[in-house]
């Protein structure tokens, strides 16, 4: 069983159903109805040392990543981040490490005005779970399931950079602190404002945590449609192409993961609205393909069919 089969089998059904749960397991965040004016959007992500980051990563970067991955899930729902809880397992108490960890956490929290409202601290192998909570006006959260035939598919920023850095570090390389790929891995910038801006425009949205191919495939599957995408249009950073060459850069961009960019669909009739809305973004959205009715995601490169990328990040 893979991760999704596991969740489907053991955690999707058999639990109490409530009418105030607008959306449960299966999207970037859950949607709960509290009152008339707002819905709560919640998500949770765990990072384990050695699995999701090298244990020697600076403590402020570990904290930043832990919060950023959650803010990215809220962004993918179009939610305003408001609060978070931190459950932290530490092998030992090291005041200097904690000083740096909390500084990194506080810095990112301040940028988006999210308040730390609770958590838990235990002794154990280094890992942390952050639960982030945000809100949307009722009915406005962007789900994975709204893409329709003919919509255009977009991705923000660039893909593959963080995966390149993780791969290099896993292979024993020490990257310069100012290496652009390392920066993308250590301090991913959640696309919070962009997600909010897309709330009334995107028909479906997901954040890219496991790789563009698998995450876009998840969006398309949730929407009951397919997609035709062009690998040559997937945005790559100059640094990535410089470091690994064009072919490897494309491979990393499609399969690498840890990008925390937004991938979304927009009705073709609204693409001028999108261009206007995103004119001043630091991570401009790029159209990489189109939604089709036939299920499945196919890629082409310069007009030729591409074998489906498969080396995506597997949780199990």
Which residues of the chain form contacts with ligand ADP (CB under 6 A)? 7, 11, 25-28, 45, 73, 209
Of 160, 150, 226, 173, the C-alpha closest to 56 is 173
Contact between 45 and Mg ion (CB under 5 A)? no
Smallest distance, Å, CB 131 to ligand ADP?
Answer: 10
Q: What is the nearest approach in angstroms of ligand ADP to the Cβ of residue 265?
A: 17
Q: How far apart are the C-alpha atoms of 136 and 37, rounded to whole Å?
A: 9
Exposed, middle or buried, 93 (CB in 10 Å: 0-12/13-18/19+)? exposed
Q: Which is nearer to Mg ion, 28 or 161 (CB)?
A: 28
Instruction: Round to whole Å and give the CA distance between 71 and 118.
Output: 16
**What are 306's strand-pairing partners?**
299
Nearer to Mg ion, 128 or 249 (CB): 128
Helix, strand, coil percentages, rounded to 5, for the chain: 35, 25, 35
Partner interacting with residue 11 (select from ligand ADP, Mg ion, none; CB below 5-8 Å by kind): ligand ADP
- Which is closer to ligand ADP, CB of 153 or CB of 168? 153
Of 30-38, 68-76, 98-106, 258-266, the window that binds Mg ion (rule: CB under 5 A) is 68-76
Task: Specify the residue, 179 or 217, whose C-beta has the smaller distance to Mg ion.
Answer: 217
CB of 164 to ligand ADP, least distance (A): 20
> Which residues ranging from 1 to 30 are in contact with Mg ion (CB under 5 A)?
28
Residue nearest to Mg ion (CB): 28
Q: Kindly state the smallest distance separating residue 72's Cβ from ligand ADP, in Å.
A: 8
**C-alpha–C-alpha distance, residues 177 and 102, integer Å:** 20
Sheet of strand 296-301: strand arrangement:
202-207, 262-266, 152-155, 286-292, 226-230, 296-301, 304-306
Q: Which of 45, 179 has the CB closer to ligand ADP?
A: 45
Touching Mg ion, residues 202-261 (CB under 5 A): 207
Shortest gap between Cβ of 89 and ligand ADP (angstroms)? Answer: 17
The angle formed by the CA atoms of residues 307, 258 and 233, to the nearest 5 degrees, is 45
Cα separation, 313 vs 256, in Å, equals 7
How are beta strands 39-48 and 262-266 bridged, if at all? Answer: unpaired
Cβ nearer to Mg ion, comparing 243 with 255: 255
| Interface ranges with Mg ion (CB under 5 A) | 28, 73, 207
């Amino acid at each position: 069983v893979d991760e999704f089969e596991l969740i489907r089998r053991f955690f999707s059904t058999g639990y109490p159903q409530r009418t105030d749960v607008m959306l449960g397991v299966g999207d970037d965040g859950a949607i709960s109805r509290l009152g008339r004016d707002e819905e709560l959007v919640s998500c949770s992500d765990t990072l384990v040392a050695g699995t999701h980051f090298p244990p020697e990563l600076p403590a402020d970067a570990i904290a930043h990543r832990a919060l950023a991955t959650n803010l990215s899930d809220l962004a993918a729902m179009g939610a305003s981040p408001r609060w978070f809880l931190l459950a932290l397992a530490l092998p030992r108490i090291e005041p200097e490490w904690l000083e740096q960890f909390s500084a990194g956490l506080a810095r990112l929290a301040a940028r988006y005005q999210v308040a730390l409202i609770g958590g838990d601290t235990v002794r154990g192998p280094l890992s942390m779970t952050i639960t982030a909570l945000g809100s949307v006006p009722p009915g406005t959260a962007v789900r994975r399931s709204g893409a329709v035939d003919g919509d255009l598919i977009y991705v923000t920023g660039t893909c593959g950079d963080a995966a390149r850095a993780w791969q290099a570090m896993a292979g024993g390389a020490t990257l310069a602190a100012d290496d652009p790929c390392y920066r993308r891995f250590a301090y991913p910038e959640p696309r919070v404002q962009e997600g909010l801006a897309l709330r009334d425009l995107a028909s479906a949205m997901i954040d890219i945590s496991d790789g563009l191919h698998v995450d876009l495939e998840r969006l398309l599957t949730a929407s009951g449609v397919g997609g035709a995408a062009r690998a040559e249009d997937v945005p790559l950073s100059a640094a990535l192409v410089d470091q690994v060459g064009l072919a490897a850069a494309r491979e990393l961009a499609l399969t690498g993961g840890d990008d925390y960019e937004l991938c979304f669909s927009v009705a073709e009739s609204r693409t001028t609205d999108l261009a206007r809305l995103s004119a001043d973004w630091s991570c401009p959205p790029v159209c990489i393909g189109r939604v089709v009715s036939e299920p499945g995601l196919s890629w082409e490169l310069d007009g030729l069919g591409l074998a489906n990328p498969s080396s995506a990040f597997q949780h199990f």
